[in-house]
């Protein structure tokens, strides 16, 4: 084995060169300059003198937890050093490059399953800088082991800014985003939309009865759906089929709809249903009468279940045309839209100006007020924006329309409208682990889904 003494002079010189303080300063200063150029905030150049002092002049003890001029630090100091490095490195990676995400609900089944653990790429669309940079590491909006204590401070609030990325959101991408209606939250009913509860119970009643919290964009709940329409598209849903700009959306093999299944009341074999991919949860809640069931089914499984000897009929569930429901966007009685028959709806694009009328105002009112922060009033049948009469409106951001692949079991844009570009977090790219809650021990692991890249089909 080679020792320091018997290394060749050339090898020793190379090792000493890479440890040279001027080389280290130059290397890290170059990396830091690239980072500053990427972010585009030149105030960060004030970090260069800190790097210079850290590696060359050494006038300030920036690692205050360490004793200076001591070759061997204590174990405690070494642990503190390692923890600080790990937290800083992980925070940079999560903010600018990639973040872990878990699928908590079945809204994307069978494309993504409950229990899938994903990596979400921030660089695919460009990472967005935090609106609230002062926050507890690795906590989203609530401190660990608490129910409502904020994990962030709003002493510093940053405007929306997205860094240069590898591309833009495209049709059929699977996107992680901040829930658009998550700006206001009922703490005791966080799984529900505040605005949906207000429509049911009345806003004044909700404010009187429940504790309410307001969250900035980056601290709203993370959702995951498929982008079916991008800015500038026109979307229409007919009998559950999505059309973009008059053309049918490309066929998604794993998309699900709900079906009525009528039997002779002898029941259905749960094991056979699980072999078809139905979860134990869906099987248990499917029966609504001795002989009738409701199942979420992929198209390929419809013919399979029809072949069961005790099955009499299988019919797709669909809301009728021109029957509007109040929980569907835009929550206005003049629009007779439902989950299966919706639109046509134009998706707003940055810089595009549209005529603004009382007829189309319900579609774009939340964009104008909540997302683009304008005041809006209606006086004598005229629309006033920021105190001035407005007969047209120019959009400041791009917007998207996202839906779950489990079409009858997904709270998505059909219910709450557009996703603004400043709510987009990243693109789902990779499944690194998948656990089946219906199984036990090692059988919980879905081995076929491990280390699987996520496509657009």
Burial of residue 400 (CB within 10 Å: 0-12, 13-18, 19+) is buried
Q: What are 89's two structure tokens?
A: 């490195």
200 Cβ contact partners less than 8 Å away, ≥ 6 residues apart? none
**For residues 26 and 152, what is the distance between their CA atoms, to the nearest angstrom?**
35
Q: How many CB atoms lie within 10 A of CB 89?
A: 10
Q: At 356, is the secondary structure helix, strand, or coil?
A: coil
**Cα 166 from Cα 396, distance rounded (Å):** 22
- 341 with 238: CB under 8 angstroms? yes
How many angstroms from the chain centroid is the CA of residue 130? Answer: 15
Q: What is the architecture of the domain spanning 256-316? A: 2-Layer Sandwich (3.30)
The whole-number pLDDT of residue 124 equals 96
Strand partners, 247: 244
pTM, entire model: 0.90
**pLDDT tens digits for the chain (457 residues)?**
445 556 566 666 666 767 788 888 899 999 999 999 998 888 889 999 999 988 888 888 877 777 766 777 778 878 888 888 899 899 999 999 999 999 988 899 889 999 999 999 999 999 999 999 999 988 999 999 888 899 999 999 999 999 999 999 999 999 999 999 999 999 999 999 999 999 999 999 999 999 999 999 999 999 999 999 999 999 999 999 999 999 999 888 889 999 999 988 777 888 888 888 888 888 888 887 788 889 899 988 998 999 888 889 999 999 999 888 999 999 999 999 999 999 999 999 999 999 999 999 999 999 999 999 999 999 999 999 999 999 999 999 999 999 999 999 999 999 999 999 999 999 999 999 999 988 888 889 999 999 999 987 7
Going by C-alpha positions, the residue among 134, 161, 150 that lies closest to residue 214 is 150
Per-domain residue ranges of the chain: 19-62, 256-316, 353-394
pLDDT digits (tens, 9 = 90+) for 206-245: 999 999 999 999 999 999 999 999 999 999 999 999 999 9
Kindly give, in sequence order, each residue whose CB lies less than 8 Å from that of residue 76, ignoring residues fewer than 6 positions away: none
Q: Is residue 334 within 8 Å of residue 322, measured between CB atoms?
A: no
**Tokens in use for 360?**
């189309």
CB 228 within 8 A of CB 403: yes
pLDDT at residue 8, as a whole number: 65
């Amino acid at each position: 084995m080679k020792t320091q003494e018997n290394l060749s002079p050339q090898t020793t010189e190379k090792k000493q060169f890479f440890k040279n303080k001027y080389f280290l300063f130059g290397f890290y200063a170059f990396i830091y300059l690239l980072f500053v150029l990427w972010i585009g905030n030149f105030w960060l150049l004030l970090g260069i003198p800190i790097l210079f002092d850290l590696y060359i002049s050494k006038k300030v003890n920036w690692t205050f937890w360490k004793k200076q001029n001591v070759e061997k630090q204590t174990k405690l100091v070494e642990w503190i050093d390692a923890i600080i490095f790990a937290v800083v490195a992980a925070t940079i990676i999560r903010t600018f490059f990639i973040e872990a995400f878990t699928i908590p609900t079945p809204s994307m089944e069978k494309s993504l399953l409950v229990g899938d653990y994903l990596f979400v790429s921030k660089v695919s669309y460009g990472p967005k800088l935090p609106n609230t940079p002062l926050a507890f590491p690795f906590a989203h909006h609530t401190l660990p082991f608490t129910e409502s204590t904020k994990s962030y401070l709003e002493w510093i609030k940053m405007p929306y800014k997205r860094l240069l990325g590898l591309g833009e959101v495209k049709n059929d991408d699977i996107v992680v985003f901040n829930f658009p209606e998550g700006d206001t939250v009922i703490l005791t009913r966080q799984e529900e939309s505040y605005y949906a509860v207000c429509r049911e119970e009345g806003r004044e009643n909700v404010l009187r009865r429940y504790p309410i919290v307001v969250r900035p964009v980056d601290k709203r709940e993370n959702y995951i759906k498929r982008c079916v329409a991008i800015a500038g598209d026109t979307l229409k849903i007919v009998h559950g089929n999505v059309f973009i700009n008059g053309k049918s959306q490309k066929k998604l093999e794993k998309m699900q709809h709900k079906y009525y299944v009528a039997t002779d009341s002898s029941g259905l074999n749960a094991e056979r249903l699980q072999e078809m991919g139905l979860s134990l949860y869906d099987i248990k809640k499917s029966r609504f009468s001795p002989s009738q069931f409701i199942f979420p089914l992929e198209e390929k499984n419809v013919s399979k279940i029809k072949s069961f000897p005790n099955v009499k009929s299988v019919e797709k569930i669909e809301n009728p045309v021109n029957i509007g429901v109040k929980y569907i966007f835009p929550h206005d009685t003049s629009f007779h839209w439902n989950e299966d028959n919706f639109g046509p709806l134009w998706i707003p694009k940055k810089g595009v100006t549209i005529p603004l009328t009382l007829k189309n105002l319900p579609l774009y009112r939340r964009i104008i007020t909540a997302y683009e922060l304008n005041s809006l009033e209606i006086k004598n049948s005229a629309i006033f924006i920021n105190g001035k009469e407005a007969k047209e409106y120019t959009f400041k951001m791009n917007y998207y329309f996202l839906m779950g692949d489990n079409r009858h079991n997904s709270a998505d844009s059909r219910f709450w409208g557009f996703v603004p570009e400043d709510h987009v977090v990243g693109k789902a790219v990779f499944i690194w682990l998948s656990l089946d809650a219906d199984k036990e021990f090692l059988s919980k692991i879905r081995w076929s889904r491990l280390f699987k890249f996520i496509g657009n089909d």
